[in-house]
Amino acid sequence: MINKIVASVAEALDGIRDGATVLIGGFGSVGQPDVLIEGLIEQGAKDLVAVLNNAGVGRVGVARLMELGRVRKIICSFPRSSDPVVFETLYREGRIELEIVPQGTLAERIRAAGAGIPAFYTATAAGTLLEQGKEAREFDGKRYVMERALRGDVALVEAWEADRWGNLVYRGSGANFNPVMAMGADLTIAQVQHIRELGELHPHMIMTPGVYVNRVVQVDRGGDWLKPEAA
Amino acid sequence: MPFTRDQMAARLGADVPEGWCVNLGIGIPTMVANHVQGKEVIFQSENGVIGMGPAPAKGAEDPWLINAGKQLITLAKGASFVGHADSFAMIRGGHIDLCVLGAFEVAENGDLANWATSENDTAPAVGGAMDLAAGAKRLWVIMEHTTKDGRPKLVERCGYPLTGLACVRRVYTNLAVIDVLPEKGFVLVDLAPGVTLDEVRAKSGAAIHTN
């Protein structure tokens, strides 16, 4: 019997090593695997490369992980938020590396990793500062930049519902980076609010098939706990 | 009188035809959504919402529904969700009819600078701007005609780091609507009420042509 449901956050995060590249889903306040990030703080892995859209808000979650000196490098598109104080301080002091990636290129690099594509060409960033150090090439008279696939050792994702096969259903705009990150890592760990019986999730509603998911942990936060943030 | 920001958004909204799929940037661009009444326009948000509706009424907010600006939204009838990879495939693959962005500078060759104010910006935030600039079918900029201290934002060549090359097709400012045409540069479409061509030219850093 296939059963990817684990009993605790600690069990879900077991084996994440120092130096790991960690893909972290979510966009704004929605779809954040916040309980798994708290768990990673407890778990202790350090020298991490964090891949996510923003560089943390306030002093909780990813910002806390950075503040504790556990993140060597951040790869993101938008290192700003309503309160990016931790990242900005570390960055100014030269204590964290930053790689800025256009948001679509970030998603596509991860998708490429998940789809077995080592590199691809895109028009995004052609002729800009973010082309520097990359191979560029013309196709049909237009300039493109070569981007490498970006694979995670681990992906931390959030979904609304899951079953024991690891099939995931998202809520509202909560899919965002989660499905692509789920397919782009060696070990994908999902935090979900509801566990359903196998067969209960409608096949058309499953955006992430369980094939991409290794572990599922339930964290029942209720339906209304999210507070929208200002940035 | 130059246009207010809301009037700029209304002026742009009047030019959006029914049926387009439109991505609106953060700030003044977002206000365009209020000015397409009576037309079916599909608003795409890069966090994977296709078919945004108006802002939610007080008490009817769903914390799971946000746009790329992290604001709470509603869904229009016919809306759908995708993840980031598919959302940006839609953007980069040329499926968005129009993207509306703000800008620091627009050059007469259509270059756009809107993501970093200098090459050593502490932590420039690009977000989805470069993807939209490279991938949308057309890009219109909506912005004040000059900076707060009066420097022109329509220029011969951008001084700030570029977001995209030769990508801006039209600019809506508080003073005028200006096309950006290959070979020609800035060409006046029309003026805000009471604004003269001489004023627009005086406040621009590149030639403003007329047809």
Contact A152, A22 (CB under 8 A): yes
- DSSP 3-state of A144: strand
B61 a catalytic residue: no
CATH value at residue B16 = 3.40.1080.10
CATH classification at residue A76 = 3.40.1080.10
Nearest CA in chain B to A125: B130
Q: CB pairs below 8 Å between A and B: how many?
A: 154
* HSE (side-chain half, CA atoms, 13 Å) at A60: 7
Per the DSSP assignment, residues forming a β-bridge with B98 are B22
> For B114-133, what is each residue's pLDDT tens digit?
998 865 556 788 999 999 99
pLDDT in tens, B21-34: 999 998 899 999 99
Q: Does the residue A154 lie in any domain?
A: yes
Its pTM stands at 0.95
φ, ψ for residue B50, nearest 5 deg: -115, 110
Count Cα neighbours of A34 within 13 Å in the Cβ-side half-sphere: 19
Q: Tell me if B50 sits within 8 A of B44, measured CB to CB.
A: yes
Assigned domain for A207 exists: yes
Token pair 């621009």 is found at B204
Query: Which domain covers residue A175, as residue numbers?
Result: 9-117+150-218
Select the residue of B62, B88, B162 nearest A103 (Cβ to Cβ): B88
Nearest to B126 among A110, A130, A227 (CB): A130
Decide if A34 is inside a domain: yes
Compute the nearest-CA separation of A113 from chain B (Å): 12
- For chain B, what is the domain count? 1
CA dihedral A185, A191, A196, A199 (to 10 degrees): -10
Furthest-apart CA atoms within chain B: distance in Å: 52
| Main-chain dihedrals φ then ψ at residue A63, nearest 5 degrees | -60, -40
State the pLDDT at residue A223: 53
Q: How far is A175 from chain B (nearest CA, A)?
A: 5
Residues 6+ apart with CB under 8 A from B17: B39
pLDDT of residue A231: 31
Give how many domains chain A has, as a whole number: 1
Q: Tell whether A194 is covered by a domain.
A: yes
CA distance B31 to chain A (A): 17
**Mean pLDDT, 10 residues at a time, over chain B (211 residues)?**
96 98 94 94 97 92 92 95 98 98 97 83 84 98 97 97 97 98 96 98 98 83
**A1 in a domain, yes or no?**
no
CB contact under 8 Å between A172 and B64, yes or no, is yes
Tens-level pLDDT at each residue, chain A (231 residues): 999 999 999 999 999 999 999 999 999 889 999 999 999 999 999 999 999 999 888 888 999 999 999 999 999 999 877 778 899 999 999 999 999 999 999 999 999 999 999 999 999 999 999 999 999 999 999 999 999 999 999 999 999 999 999 999 999 999 999 999 999 999 999 999 999 999 999 999 999 999 999 999 999 765 544 444 433
- Among A88, A106, A173, select the one facing B81 at the smallest CB separation: A173
Residue B112 host element (H or E): strand B112-113
Question: What domain range is B10 assigned to?
Answer: 5-209
The ipTM (two decimal places) reads 0.95
Residue A133 buriedness (CB in 10 A; 0-12 / 13-18 / 19+)? exposed
The whole-number pLDDT of residue A229 equals 42
